[in-house]
C-alpha cells in the first residue's frame, strides 16, 4: 500500500475506534524471530501496520549487499502473515514522517532498543500513545542467517 492510501485508511480505521499498532524494519530474510515479534506486536491492538524500508533505504542502513530480497518480495511475504494488516514502504532512513502521519496508538520496536533510541517514541508519547519493546527470540537474526550461509 502506498503512503497516500494508508493515510486515508488510517482515518477510516480511527473513525471505527480501531487501536492502531505500528512497527517498522527491513524484514529482509523473514525468520522465526520476525514472526514471533509481529505476532506479539499485533496482540497489542486491532490493526498492525508495518513500515518497511525500501531497497535504497536498506542499502544505506545495512550496506551494498543488502537487501537480499527486493521490497516487492519482502512486502509480499509480510502481507501473507495473519498478524500483519498493512505494509507501507518508506524511503527515508527512519519512519518518523510515517509515524507522524499515522499517529499510532502503540509504537513497537524490538528488544535491542530503549525508549530513548526508538524513533517516534517522543511523538507517540506526546499525544498519549504507548511505546512497547518486545524481546527478541534468542539467536534469530537476519545477520546471523547470512553469516551462516557465507560459512557454508
All structural domains of the chain with their residue ranges: 3-151
Give me the phi and psi of 136, to 5 degrees please. Answer: -70, 155
pLDDT tens for residues 37-65?
A: 999 999 999 999 999 999 999 999 999 98
- Full strand arrangement of the beta sheet holding 86-90: 86-90, 47-53, 20-25, 106-110, 130-134
Predicted local distance difference test score (pLDDT) of residue 151: 75
> What's the predicted TM-score (pTM) here?
0.90
How far apart CA 106 and CA 72 sit, in angstroms, is 26
Q: Per residue in 73-131, pLDDT tens?
A: 999 999 999 999 999 999 999 999 999 999 999 999 998 889 999 999 999 999 999 99
CA distance 77 to 75: 6
Question: Does residue 26 have a pLDDT over 90?
Answer: yes
**Distances from the Cα of 146 to the Cα of 55, 64, 67, angstroms:** 17, 14, 11
Check residues 37 and 29 and name the one with the higher pLDDT: 37
Say if domain 3-151 classifies as CATH 3.40.50.2300. no
Amino acid at each position: 500500500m502506498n503512503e497516500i492510501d494508508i493515510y486515508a485508511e488510517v482515518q477510516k480505521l480511527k473513525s471505527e475506534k480501531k487501536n492502531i499498532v505500528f512497527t517498522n524494519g527491513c524484514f529482509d530474510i523473514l525468520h522465526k524471530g520476525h514472526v514471533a515479534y509481529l505476532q506479539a506486536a499485533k496482540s497489542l491492538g486491532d490493526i498492525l501496520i508495518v513500515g518497511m524500508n525500501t531497497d535504497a533505504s536498506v542499502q544505506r542502513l545495512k550496506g551494498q549487499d543488502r537487501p537480499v530480497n527486493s521490497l516487492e518480495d519482502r512486502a509480499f511475504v509480510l502481507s501473507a502473515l495473519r498478524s500483519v494488516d498493512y505494509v507501507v514502504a518508506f524511503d527515508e532512513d527512519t519512519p518518523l514522517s510515517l509515524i507522524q502521519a499515522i499517529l499510532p496508538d502503540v509504537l513497537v520496536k524490538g528488544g535491542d532498543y530503549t525508549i530513548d533510541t526508538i524513533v517516534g517514541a517522543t511523538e507517540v508519547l506526546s499525544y498519549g500513545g504507548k511505546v512497547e519493546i518486545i524481546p527478541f527470540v534468542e539467536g534469530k537474526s537476519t545477520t546471523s542467517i547470512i553469516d551462516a550461509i557465507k560459512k557454508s
